[in-house]
Amino acid sequence: MGVLGPGQKIAGYPTSVAVGQQFTLYVYVGDHEGLAAYYQVLVKEGNQATVISNSTSANLPPVLTNSLVLQDNSSTIFPVNLSMTTAGLDQRIIFELWMFNSTSSTFAYTGLWNQLWLNVSAT
């Protein structure tokens, strides 16, 4: 999984936005699991205090969820239209990749995540 800027490249990311200002990023997801997989990308709004790692997802509600099925060795890029709700320095948008586990019939955090740091003004 990767997050791409407005030009669908690893560049041009916004660094400052206003609360409520719309901006678009793109998410790349590739399936290399050896079989078709059902994924969810959860987008969460956090800050410096938000804890996330390769073993622990951010304990925040998603502001956006995108579900997709990919065949093995395939990939997709999709737009994500966002706006921040909280003003402050060092706010961040967190992208987490989850995969459906057919044994437990639930989505499980894959440990793959990405983030974009933003300074968010009140107006």
Q: How far apart are the C-alpha atoms of 69 and 99, rounded to whole Å?
A: 10
Q: How far apart are the C-alpha atoms of 120 and 27, rounded to whole Å?
A: 21
All structural domains of the chain, each given as residue ranges with its CATH number in brackets, are 2-121 (2.60.40.10)
Pairing of strands 16-18, 64-70: unpaired
The CA distances from residue 114 to 4, 26, 29, 37, 104, in Å, are 10, 12, 12, 20, 26
The CA distances from residue 97 to 21, 105, 106, 112, 121, in Å, are 25, 16, 13, 6, 28
pLDDT band at 123 (very low <50, low <70, confident <90, very high): confident
Residue 38's SS3 state is strand
Share of the chain above pLDDT 70, in %: 100
Share of the chain above pLDDT 90, in %: 98
Please indicate, yes or no, whether the overall pTM of this predicted structure exceeds 0.75.
yes
pLDDT digits (tens, 9 = 90+) for 27-64: 999 999 999 999 999 999 999 999 999 999 999 999 99
The CA distances from residue 44 to 16, 31, 84, in Å, are 17, 22, 10
Is pLDDT above 90 for 6?
A: yes
Q: Can you tell me which residue has the tokens 């709004």?
A: 45
